[in-house]
Amino acid sequence: MDNPLASMDAYAPKEIALKIETMGVSKANADSLTVFVLALLAGAFISLAALLFTVVITDSQLGFGVTRLLGGLGFCLGLVLVIVAGAELFTGNNLLAMAWASRRISSRALLRNWVLSYLGNVLGCLGTVALVLLADSAAMGNGAVGETALAIARGKGELSLLETFSRGILCNALVCMAVWLAMGGHSVTDKILAVIFPVMAFVALGFEHSIANWFFLPFAMLLDAQSSISPGAAAGNLLAATAGNIVGGTLLVAGVYWLAYLRNGHG
């Protein structure tokens, strides 16, 4: 007799690879308006998570490491909403490269999804920035939240392009692993638990998430009365983080698992 509990076990890694490949086909074939609207949501979700991170680390007396860890836990809100509620996040969608490598989607379909999801994410972030400014969230903690936001953005602007690129690679390796692990679960609880540790890790370790930075940097620049954050440095960060995210997601996760499980087809 089959064990009824067996169906509650996590999917095996090869099964996850097949599920992600199939998901990639579905996402690549989704109509443009659906992708764009869901990408707007993802940008908003990640932005709210970035704001929560900012609030959590503000005025913390717990020490550097513990504060970063708790901030990372707060940031998990973003990917939990993306995965459980449903949204199109550019960084997670780098996993579509598995379906592309298996020749189940075309290069054009892959790039269409990436461009639509990235643009939607950016607009979702900027819209959230506007709402957060109208809500005067920076004034929380007697203005300490705004000061933290400025400090975060200044730190990002001071990174070299190589540092940002490298941190972007490491970031999206962990983000895509979070998506990978979530695909292995059956229940909402499974998926939430799968997301927490990789996302908490990339935030605590200071890696660079391009979409989150579309909230962090514009938000701080609009608060920055002294213009201490250079637009050129912000643009360089966004470009280098985006490039790094693509490498981390497509090569270090999608590429490695495709080689391990899908290079010879589904046999």
Please write the tens of the pLDDT for every residue from 128-177. Answer: 999 999 999 999 999 999 999 999 999 999 999 999 999 999 999 999 99
The separation between the first and the last C-alpha atoms of the chain, rounded to the nearest angstrom, is 27
Output the domain CATH number for residue 230. Answer: 1.20.1080.10
235 domain residue, yes or no:
yes
106 domain residue, yes or no:
yes
**DSSP-derived secondary structure letter, 92:** G
Contacts of 213 (CB under 8 A, 6+ apart): 156, 237, 238, 241
pLDDT at 216: 98
194 domain residue, yes or no:
yes
**Residue 2: pLDDT above 70?**
no
221 domain residue, yes or no:
yes
Give the closest residue to 156 by CA, choosing from 87, 85, 213, 218: 213
Q: What angle do CA 241, 244, 248 make, to 5 degrees?
A: 135
Between CA 6 and CA 15 the distance in angstroms is 14
267 domain residue, yes or no:
no
**pLDDT, average across residues 208-236:** 94
4 domain residue, yes or no:
no
Number of folded domains that form the chain: 1
| Exposed / middle / buried, residue 260 (Cβ in 10 Å: 0-12, 13-18, 19+) | exposed
210 domain residue, yes or no:
yes
Q: How far is CA 134 from the centre of its chain?
A: 25
Give residue-wise pLDDT tens across range 24-76: 999 999 999 999 999 999 999 999 999 999 999 999 999 999 999 999 999 99
* Whole-model pTM over 0.85: yes
Q: Which structural domain range is residue 106 located in?
A: 11-262
Between CA 167 and CA 132 the distance in angstroms is 27
180 domain residue, yes or no:
yes
